[in-house]
Amino acid sequence: MKKRLFWTNVLFLTAVLATAQTVVKMEMPPQARERLQAETLFEENVPEDIPVVLDLSGFDIRGGVPPYRYQWFLNNEVISQDEQASFVPQQGDVLVLRVTDGNRCHATVSLGLKISVSPWGGSKKVSAGEILIYPTVVTGLLHIRLPSHSEGKGKIYIHNLQGRIVMERTMDGEEAWRIDLPEGIYIITVESGELHRTEKIVIR
């Protein structure tokens, strides 16, 4: 009788353990409909020795699983981990954009930059304090002031990021004027005699 009861208890415990197994559900990462791809749409020349800002509008990024993360490399060195990168191009530079999606898949696009020579030929530069250009984020008037010892009139050039002159004028002493250009990033250069200054400005 005791033996029969013992085996009955064993069978009962086995059944309980079998039905008490824990089921763990693991979520599978989302699957991409197409592989992550990145291609450049940027074909314009960039000016040498002038600050340039590139963003994702110059690239076609598709596939993979959002969200994306970005790394910009200039000559194998990380210069940005944002949606845009700012740098001063030099002859021989190679720019690389690396995109990582939500599944940690990577796509890389390399851009051999086409450098154009600075339109003012790389004339002399002086300390930033001698010619004043402000503000660099322009929502109203742009102010430019030449030093009192400057020789003659000042010459102002505004270039877009492709190095083309979009505005040009002369000035005396100090000026403030409203720039009639579309919103965006521009390079402004002011020359007066031996003095020369270049700044990146943002028009909003």
**How many angstroms separate the first and last alpha carbons of the chain?**
94
User: Are both 89 and 138 inside the same structural domain?
Assistant: no
Query: What pLDDT is attached to residue 99?
Result: 95
For residue 30, tell me if it sits in a domain.
no
A 10 A CB-CB count for 65 gives: 16
Cβ contact 193:167 at 8 Å? no
Q: Tell me the residue type at 148.
A: S
A 10 A CB-CB count for 115 gives: 17
Cα 26 → chain centroid: 37
User: Are both 53 and 105 inside the same structural domain?
Assistant: yes
Q: How far from 65 is each of 21, 60, 84, 96, 184, CA to CA, in Å?
A: 35, 15, 20, 21, 30
For residue 8, tell me if it sits in a domain.
no
What domain range includes position 161?
A: 132-203
Query: What pLDDT is attached to residue 128?
Result: 43
Mean pLDDT by 10 residues, the chain (204 residues): 50 53 61 86 68 79 91 90 83 89 91 62 47 85 82 85 88 86 90 84 88
Q: Examine the fold and report which residue of 116, 146, 166 is the final residue of a domain before the chain moves on.
A: 116
Query: What pLDDT is attached to residue 12?
Result: 54
For residue 11, tell me if it sits in a domain.
no
What's the CATH number where 182 sits? 2.60.40.3080
Query: What pLDDT is attached to residue 176?
Result: 87
User: Are both 104 and 136 inside the same structural domain?
Assistant: no
Cβ contact 159:119 at 8 Å? yes
Query: What pLDDT is attached to residue 166?
Result: 93
- CA dihedral in degrees (48, 53, 58, 59; nearest 10)? 110
What is the Cα–Cα distance from 188 to 51, expressed in whole angstroms?
A: 11
Query: What pLDDT is attached to residue 151?
Result: 65
78 bridge partner residues: 73
- Count how many domains the chain has: 2
For residue 68, tell me if it sits in a domain.
yes
What is the Cα–Cα distance from 58 to 78, expressed in whole angstroms?
A: 19
Query: What pLDDT is attached to residue 121?
Result: 44
Give the HSE-up count for residue 48: Cα atoms under 13 Å, Cβ half-sphere.
Answer: 14
For residue 108, tell me if it sits in a domain.
yes
Whole-structure pTM value: 0.50
Note every long-range contact of 74-81, with CB atoms under 8 Å and residues 24 or more positions apart, other chains counting: none
For residue 141, tell me if it sits in a domain.
yes
Q: Examine the fold and report which residue of 90, 116, 142 is the final residue of a domain before the chain moves on.
A: 116
The three-point CA angle 162-199-135 to 5° equals 120
